[in-house]
Amino acid sequence: MSGPRSLSIRIDRDSRVPAYQQIAGAIRDAIHAGRFDDGERLASTRALAARLGIHRNTAVAAYRSLESAGLLRAGVGAGSFVVAPVMPAAVPGEAAEGTPPFAWRRLLRDPQALEGDPRQWLSARHLPVPPDAIQLTGAIAERKQFPLEDLAGCLRAVLDDAGPGILDYGPTEGDERLREWIVEQLREWGAGEIDIERVFIVSGSQQGLDLIGKLLLAPGDAVVLEAPTYTGAFLSLRHAGARLVTVPMGEAGLDLDALEALLEHEPVKFLYTMPCFQNPTGISLGSAERDRLLGLARRYRLAIIEDHYDTDLYYSGQRPRPLLGDDREGQVIHLGTFSKILFPGLRIGWLVIPAGLADSLRQIRWATDLASATLAQRALERFCRAGYLDDHLRRIRRVNARRLRAMLRALEEHFPAAARWTRPGGGMTLWAELPAAVDTVELFHQAAARGVLFSPGIAFYPNGGGRNAMRLSFNRESEARIQRGIALLGEMIAERLSVSEKGRPALEEPLL
Amino acid sequence: MSGPRSLSIRIDRDSRVPAYQQIAGAIRDAIHAGRFDDGERLASTRALAARLGIHRNTAVAAYRSLESAGLLRAGVGAGSFVVAPVMPAAVPGEAAEGTPPFAWRRLLRDPQALEGDPRQWLSARHLPVPPDAIQLTGAIAERKQFPLEDLAGCLRAVLDDAGPGILDYGPTEGDERLREWIVEQLREWGAGEIDIERVFIVSGSQQGLDLIGKLLLAPGDAVVLEAPTYTGAFLSLRHAGARLVTVPMGEAGLDLDALEALLEHEPVKFLYTMPCFQNPTGISLGSAERDRLLGLARRYRLAIIEDHYDTDLYYSGQRPRPLLGDDREGQVIHLGTFSKILFPGLRIGWLVIPAGLADSLRQIRWATDLASATLAQRALERFCRAGYLDDHLRRIRRVNARRLRAMLRALEEHFPAAARWTRPGGGMTLWAELPAAVDTVELFHQAAARGVLFSPGIAFYPNGGGRNAMRLSFNRESEARIQRGIALLGEMIAERLSVSEKGRPALEEPLL
């Protein structure tokens, strides 16, 4: 038996897993179970779509995802062919003859959570991207701006001063000197006098979230997130077993009416929010909204996880003040990181937690990975104390502000009149919404092949949405390349709109 | 109302939480709830013991644990006094007047798992340990043996060669060059040809365990561990929600009859084992036992997590071959680390997983903390390639072998005839069992005050046990200091035995 015709593919329309992923999953399992020969041709996407009663684009997306996974290869104009693994992995109930390899995947804790990871099917890793592609993706700093020599000097100085102890296990809560520096920074940023016992160094704020999940989340606990939000946040919380409840983002930050309505009828473990230069939208919570949020928190006894991830990157006025600074009842856990402004590869961030949780967090962190690397912490502290961080920040704020302006100008010029986008006061990304006819996942594949990378909107919605939206990063490319990238995107968007206006399906030709 | 007399303390004798911890927990909650005044005197340990029908030592241990937590202070010969927190933490049902601080501890996922952490009540952090105490504790290398200059050179060379990209986010699976080096090492160690796709760099093998838990463990899943075993392993697995089932260690490794009996009647998710130089016992699985274990694994479809944590530290014969090398069905996940031989502060280990889990692990790892620090990985690779690792290993093997012999000689000379201990062929620790009358937790406190640190046996049993056992580390102190430390311990043990032989309670005077 062979061919997708013989496969029974059932699409669950209520699932949070997109239909095309469900189809890809069924075919993948069949390939792993040895139900296809190597090189066997699959039904065309048109035929598959007709048989399953789905849009052809959905079938195309399913096949593309299998191509990315190396399980299909596309012949030019000739259909899709199975690439059967040499040794098929065992899947439940599908053991091969003889001595079957061990069925590890049957032991997976939560295959469903793994399937729902948009990074799996939006990765450019397996796409034919030109080497000099314009990177309007990634909320990370531009490499060539890293002050490498300054750091090298600090590393050497720390090794000379501290001796071999610096390479031994360090304190689980982090290096005391770096924690002291963070206490001083928090004071300067308007967070008031934070007891050093509340400050933990973590391996990036991603780990901060992981630790919060371990400390607080029991399976099924409801957590509120903004929609759209940071992909890494909802993946981390989902792996921790949380039920993800979303509140939409408005023009002045998260929609507080929606939040209040939610809190009124549902107990939640905490709210995860980025009040300043939110990722992906770049929106900051207005000052009145900020007060209202803290009021709601007090009234509903709501715990808040504040991700203060790139507030050093403000391009006008003052550094935004963390919510932590107005947290009179101790309801805020504060997350910060160096990764967005400096050396993400060092993996250093911090967590400010309520004093009553410090001992528990120390236990959890120890059992997780003992501690962060001491040498990196101490070198970073030296780097900051030497004034290198301030120098670097002044430099990248100036550069990024210009790039943001360049992107906004290019959007005015090249994006259709019906498109809308945010105008952030800081950060690294903005958010654009296109007419509903434009599917940004399809656009992503087309644009990648033409040398422009951006992040499709669906990557930022844990429970679906964002199909016609995109995140555009303005911090990694020169003004000229930003302009060229936006112009190219504008061109592809216009083509798609003109095709769809003629009433034809948005996608006729294979994109890749 | 005040005083422990008014507290209702209920001791659950079936709990895995030791009685003295239960008592400490009840008193701590009462202190946090504001039921004691600052400076209030508690009942004497003798009175408390009488009232609760427990041994006085149990009451002493409870008070000591509260002292460690900063909630009691001991007046000289005058009893114990409450140190009331200035702002009591909210506990369930016990809100203070006015605007109570936010009840974070009510949000904890699993307070019970946190209470069961022996590191909480065995920490020497708050003990009055003399500064020059003899460290027969910790499975970590001696700092002054770290080849610091060699590493400093490698760091500088990597920064020069690699450019700023080395400080950017690195691949989630780890630096390819270091992974290649590990593939070569595994080949040399007899593990055969491992596909590089199966090798992940992790931030120490502690993180490897954490990731395995996330990948495989659903709450309530049974996991088999050796008893005694590595504390960090059972804490990690317990935090992941596993039900911990233990199989005793025998003279030739874990007791395979007991394992088989267990597998016969109970489905388990996996076995966590250290086949070589097991921590804490130093015992290696015999060759026949090894074959039998793999046979059992095949027969019962048992997944095995092999922690191959310090097998570079063999003091006779050849480097032990990993189980992975004989794993014909792909049933073994292999954990390794640099931390036990080299620079634990760099936080670098590795994981070899089945090919079918690589994508899932990459997802989980990304959502956990993105990746390990690239600079440290590349510098370590350079360090290993330059031959510095081999030089270092030759040196510490020679030193450690001498120290092990010194410890064995000292044990013969100073420990009582009824004591027994292991004679490891490698690693850093050995295991001693004393006559039942000796409580090694009490001995730990006494010895710490007299300047010798060791690890009490109970720290290595997830489900109780080891009350008269101890782990002794021989890798951090000179032969002379090892000898002095063992002599001091022998003296204290002899005192305890002579006291207990006279039929008096083992502990009359406060230890501290």
**Confidence band for A4, pLDDT divided at 50, 70 and 90:** very low
**Confidence band for A92, pLDDT divided at 50, 70 and 90:** very low
Residue type, B489: L
A199-256 residue pLDDT tens: 999 999 999 999 999 999 999 999 999 999 999 999 999 999 999 999 999 988 999 9
Contacts of A332 (CB under 8 A, 6+ apart): A304, A305, A306, A323, A324
Given a contact cutoff of 8 angstroms between Cβ atoms, the answer to whether B357 and A104 are in contact is yes
Residue A512's pLDDT is: 28
Q: Which residues of B touch A212 (CB under 8 A)?
A: none
Peptide bond into B280 cis (omega under 30): yes
A42-90 residue pLDDT tens: 888 888 888 888 888 888 878 877 775 567 776 545 678 776 654 333 3
- The CATH number for A148-386, chosen from 3.40.640.10, 3.30.70.120, 3.20.20.70, 3.30.70.20, is 3.40.640.10
CA distance A145 to chain B (A): 8
Interface residue of B32, B94, B104, B212 to substitute, partner A, most A CBs within 10 Å = B104
Q: Which residue has the higher pLDDT, B345 or B181?
A: B181
CB pair distance less than 8 Å for A163 and B156: no
- Per DSSP, the three-state class of B224 is strand
**Confidence band for B19, pLDDT divided at 50, 70 and 90:** confident
**Nearest CB neighbour to A108, from listed B144, B360, B366:** B360
Pairing state between β B243-250 and B222-227: parallel
Residue A402's pLDDT is: 97
CA distance B101 to chain A (A): 5
Average pLDDT, chain B: 86
Q: Which residues of B touch A374 (CB under 8 A)?
A: 345
CB pair distance less than 8 Å for A151 and B167: yes
* Residue B83 in this model has a pLDDT that exceeds 80: no
Q: Which residue has the higher pLDDT, A478 or A102?
A: A478
> What does the DSSP assignment read for A232-268?
HHHHHHHHTTPEEEEEEEETTEE-HHHHHHHHHH---
First to last CA, chain B: 30
What is the percentage of chain A residues whose pLDDT exceeds 90? 60
Cα gap A460→A430, rounded to integer Å:
13
Angle (CA) B336 B338 B344, round 5°: 125
CA distance B403 to chain A (A): 20
CB pair distance less than 8 Å for A204 and B356: no
Strand-pairing partners, residue B222, are: B243
Q: Which residues of A touch B204 (CB under 8 A)?
A: 369-370
CB pair distance less than 8 Å for A170 and B216: no
The token duo for A13 is 């329309």
**Confidence band for A153, pLDDT divided at 50, 70 and 90:** very high
Contacts of A18 (CB under 8 A, 6+ apart): A61, A458, A464
Peptide bond into A130 cis (omega under 30): no
Contacts of B435 (CB under 8 A, 6+ apart): B416, B418, B419, B468, B497
CB pair distance less than 8 Å for B105 and A373: no
Q: Which residues of A touch B119 (CB under 8 A)?
A: 363, 366
**Of B252, B336, B341, B328, nearest in space to B294 by CA:** B328
CB pair distance less than 8 Å for B108 and A203: no
Tell me the mean pLDDT in the region B81-103: 51
CA distance A293 to chain B (A): 16
Residue B125's pLDDT is: 64
CB pair distance less than 8 Å for B218 and A109: yes
Q: Which residues of B touch A163 (CB under 8 A)?
A: 143, 148
Residue A502's pLDDT is: 64
CB pair distance less than 8 Å for B166 and A359: no
CB pair distance less than 8 Å for B373 and A376: yes
Cα gap B460→B441, rounded to integer Å:
12
Q: A89 to chain B: nearest residue by CA?
A: B356
**Nearest CB neighbour to B345, from listed A119, A270, A373:** A373
B443-454 residue pLDDT tens: 999 999 999 999
B129 CB burial (10 A radius; 0-12, 13-18, 19+): middle
Residue B5's pLDDT is: 45
CB pair distance less than 8 Å for B364 and A239: yes
Q: Write down the CATH number for the domain with range A134-138+390-501.
A: 3.90.1150.10
- H and E: helices and strands count for chain A: 16, 16
* Residue B157 in this model has a pLDDT that exceeds 90: yes
What is the domain partition of chain A in residue ranges?
4-115, 134-138+390-501, 148-386
**Nearest CB neighbour to A104, from listed B120, B354, B373:** B354
Cα gap A370→A200, rounded to integer Å:
12
Residue B503's pLDDT is: 53
Cα gap B375→A371, rounded to integer Å:
17
What CATH class has B4-116? mainly alpha
B244-272 residue pLDDT tens: 999 999 988 999 999 999 999 889 999 99
B205-246 residue pLDDT tens: 999 999 999 999 999 999 999 999 999 999 999 999 999 999
Q: Write down the CATH number for the domain with range A4-115.
A: 1.10.10.10
Cα gap B270→B260, rounded to integer Å:
13
CB pair distance less than 8 Å for B214 and A168: no
**Of B341, B375, B312, B365, nearest in space to B199 by CA:** B365
Strand-pairing partners, residue B270, are: B223
**Confidence band for B6, pLDDT divided at 50, 70 and 90:** low
Tokens 């046990």 locate to B465
Residue A501's pLDDT is: 67
Cα gap B374→B237, rounded to integer Å:
27
Given a contact cutoff of 8 angstroms between Cβ atoms, the answer to whether B141 and B344 are in contact is yes
**Confidence band for A96, pLDDT divided at 50, 70 and 90:** very low
* Residue B160 in this model has a pLDDT that exceeds 70: yes
B99-120 residue pLDDT tens: 457 888 889 988 888 877 887 7
CB pair distance less than 8 Å for B164 and A156: no
CB pair distance less than 8 Å for B328 and A372: no
Residue A55's pLDDT is: 84
- Per DSSP, the three-state class of B172 is coil
Cα gap B138→B285, rounded to integer Å:
22
**Of B239, B120, B230, nearest in space to B461 by CA:** B230
Neighbours of B110 (CB within 10 A): 18
Peptide bond into B354 cis (omega under 30): no
- Per DSSP, the three-state class of B444 is helix
Q: Which residues of A touch B148 (CB under 8 A)?
A: 159, 163-164, 167
Residue A266: half-sphere exposure toward Cβ, Cα within 13 Å:
19
- This model of the complex carries an ipTM of 0.78
Average pLDDT, chain A: 86
